[in-house]
Amino acid sequence: MSERKSDPVPPEGVDLNRPSVARVYDYYLGGTANWAVDRDFGDRVLSKFPLLRDIALANRQLLNRVVRHLTKRGVRQFLDIGAGVPTAGNTHQVADEAQREVGAAPDVRVVYVDNDPVAVAHANLLLNREGDASRQTVIEGDLRDPDVLWRQAIDTRLLDPDEPVALLLIAVLHVHQPDRDGNDIGLESVARFRELLPRGSYLAISHVTDEGVPRASSENLAELKRMYDESSSSNVILRTREQISALLDDFEVIDPGWVWTPDWHPEETGPTARPVSFDSSNQAVVWAGVGQKP
């Protein structure tokens, strides 16, 4: 098992007997907010699916592009749900970077949300150290209860419910969102958020799919799902591209429409985004799109 002498003491109540999806993702991205149980699992996954680290980086690159693009469209408030463990290129950092490039004073406000106490604790540390409390905060919330989460976000006083909000659901919905009976309610939650968002708001989604991917990737994804379902804190859901596209429902999908992550406005890639490339875009196995509420 991979160990570090500098592993931090986990927040109270954190289960280190099973790997966490958020912490394993942090490990793929080269972060430090993970423990031996997460790295051991991540290494086992990477031994079977080496491309997964590049897939994770491409998804992070998508976040960079989406935030830059929407900031240029005039969005000044973001709700980043399932933000995970903070790592380089967070939403507020990318937005500020994009504004400074055009000589504007950064004024974008961001509310980060996660239900993993490790992610929330580390986000608090980051924001306390280098953030701006008047423009950024983190809350512990649950995607499965949209009305409560929305009230929590508005109660921070950073988001104006009468102005457009960019809701980010990046690499979130392929993680099982169980109700009390164990049934996934991710789709219902997204539908409610579409109702709650004010007119003119944006919804950005990325989601793993095994449809339209290379055969080798499809086989790897089946094994990946088996490993996560058996060993991690959360199961994986593989949806079709049609099912994923339906998540935006009646929102107007902005150009370039639903595409693989490397194909979503590559020209928007910021100077601090980590580079990643594939032989073909479908190797990224993540379908992505952004829609605006009419």
Name the token pair of 186. 């991710």
Q: In the prediction, which pLDDT does 161 show?
A: 96
Residue-level pLDDT at 122: 83
Q: How far apart are CA 202 and CA 54, in angstroms?
A: 27
Q: Residue 92 and residue 96: Cα distance in Å, rounded?
A: 6
DSSP letter for each residue of 111-147: EEEES-HHHHHHHHHHHHHH--TTTEEEEE--TT-HH
Instruction: Give the pTM.
Output: 0.94
Tens-binned pLDDT, residue by residue, of the chain (294 aa): 444 545 666 666 567 788 888 889 989 988 877 889 999 999 999 999 999 999 999 999 999 999 999 999 999 999 999 998 777 789 999 999 999 999 999 999 999 999 988 889 888 988 999 899 999 999 999 999 999 999 999 999 999 999 999 999 999 999 999 999 999 999 999 999 999 999 999 999 999 999 999 999 999 999 999 999 998 778 999 999 999 999 999 999 999 999 999 999 999 999 988 889 999 999 999 999 999 999
- As given in the structure block, the two tokens for residue 262 are 């490397």
Domains and CATH numbers, the chain: 21-292 (3.40.50.150)
